[in-house]
Amino acid sequence: MFVVALFNLMRRLTFHRRWINTLSSLSLLVYIIHENVIFKKATRGQLIKELYDYIGGEQLVLAVAIYSVLLFIGAYILAYMFHRLVLPFSVKLSGYALQKLRLVCGRMERNIMKFN
């Protein structure tokens, strides 16, 4: 809930640097990737156990830190791919669906008005 509120507060600010705008638009996607239930189950429990078995307790903190950085970078790459590949198609598709929905609603409204 806090993240959504923070996201809405930051939305009102305008930045004129392209890379800041790109990173900020991807941040919500990175959060969603990290909070996905399937993603949590697949990475957090089993992977930490495997790291502990492979590395041992001495270097576990370093391994988890490296894993966290790699996970963060990977999530940003996935979010960037979504932003460039899926989002434009989704916007066009939703615009087309909205246009058709407006036509259907307009027809229904005219038909209802005929009965009055």
**Span 19-54, pLDDT tens digits:** 777 777 777 777 777 777 777 777 777 777 777 777
Amino acid in the structure at residue 4: V
Give the pLDDT band of residue 104 (cuts 50, 70, 90): very high
Mean pLDDT of the chain: 79
Q: How far apart are CA 51 and CA 67, in angstroms?
A: 10
Q: Where are the alpha helices (DSSP H) in 36-86?
A: 37-40, 46-55, 60-81
Is the pLDDT at 92 greater than 70? The verdict is yes
Percent of the chain's residues with pLDDT above 70 = 95
Residue 116 has a pLDDT of 64
* pTM, two decimal places: 0.52
Mean pLDDT of 95-102: 92
Give the domain range for residue 87. Answer: 2-115
Angle among Cα 37, 25, 48 to the nearest 5 degrees reads 35
Is the pLDDT at 5 greater than 70? The verdict is yes
Contact 94, 102 (CB under 8 A): no
Tally of domains within the chain: 1
* Three-class DSSP category at 31: helix
Q: How many helices (H) and strands (E) does the chain have?
A: 6, 0
